[in-house]
């Protein structure tokens, strides 16, 4: 039996669902994270360098495994949006805190989040993340954006 999803408090915009998604990662709260996803069979998630995960069970399993190592300290910056009445597509730069042999460091990820407006509010239908480059690091840190 599928549990009803908690109603996300929202003001009619996908930004609140996105904030709840990243908050859930920082808390390591799998139920809160999964509440951000739509009740669609074909929801999709791709982690940096990972395989395409299709469906709630596959996505939940991947985040459960990720959270077994601790929370994900991710913050979002430089959001770019394309919006229609029922779909909101966000291209974001994620700054991820990671522990290395040399101590804490930051990794940069480029992610695309696609939200669908449903009867329950805005819900995530796709999250696709790819490793960032030095250019993204410069953009986040306010440095010059070098194209070549």
Q: What is the pLDDT of residues 20-35, one digit of tens each?
A: 999 999 999 999 999 9
What is the predicted pLDDT for the residue at 72? 86
CATH number assigned to the domain covering 14-140: 3.10.450.50
Consecutive H or E run containing 79 = strand 74-83
Q: Phi/psi at 4 (nearest 5 deg)?
A: -65, 140
For the chain, give the mean pLDDT: 85
What is the predicted pLDDT for the residue at 138? 61
Over range 115-133, report the average pLDDT.
94
CA distances from 120 to 10, 12, 97, 116, 143 (A): 10, 11, 32, 10, 40
- Other Cβ atoms less than 10 A from the Cβ of 82: the count is 10
117, pLDDT greater than 80: yes
Q: What share of the chain is helix, strand, coil (3-state, %, to 5)?
A: 25, 40, 35
Over range 96-116, report the average pLDDT.
88
What is the predicted pLDDT for the residue at 130? 94
Over range 114-123, report the average pLDDT.
95
What is the predicted pLDDT for the residue at 1? 40
Higher pLDDT, 2 or 41: 41
Output the pTM of the full model: 0.82
What is the predicted pLDDT for the residue at 98? 77
């Amino acid at each position: 039996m599928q549990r009803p999803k908690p109603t996300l408090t929202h003001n009619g915009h996908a930004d609140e669902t996105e904030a709840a998604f990243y908050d859930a990662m920082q808390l390591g709260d799998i139920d809160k994270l999964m509440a951000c996803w739509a009740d669609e069979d074909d929801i999709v998630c791709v982690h940096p360098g990972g395989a395409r995960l299709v469906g709630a069970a596959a996505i939940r399993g991947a985040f459960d495994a990720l959270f077994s190592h601790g929370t994900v300290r991710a913050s979002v910056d430089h959001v770019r949006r394309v919006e229609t009445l029922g779909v909101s597509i966000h291209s974001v730069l994620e700054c991820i805190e990671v522990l290395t042999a040399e101590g804490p460091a930051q990794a940069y990820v480029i992610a695309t989040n696609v939200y669908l407006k449903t009867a329950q509010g805005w819900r995530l239908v796709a999250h696709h993340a790819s490793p960032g480059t030095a250019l993204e690091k410069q953009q986040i840190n306010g440095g010059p954006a070098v194209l070549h």
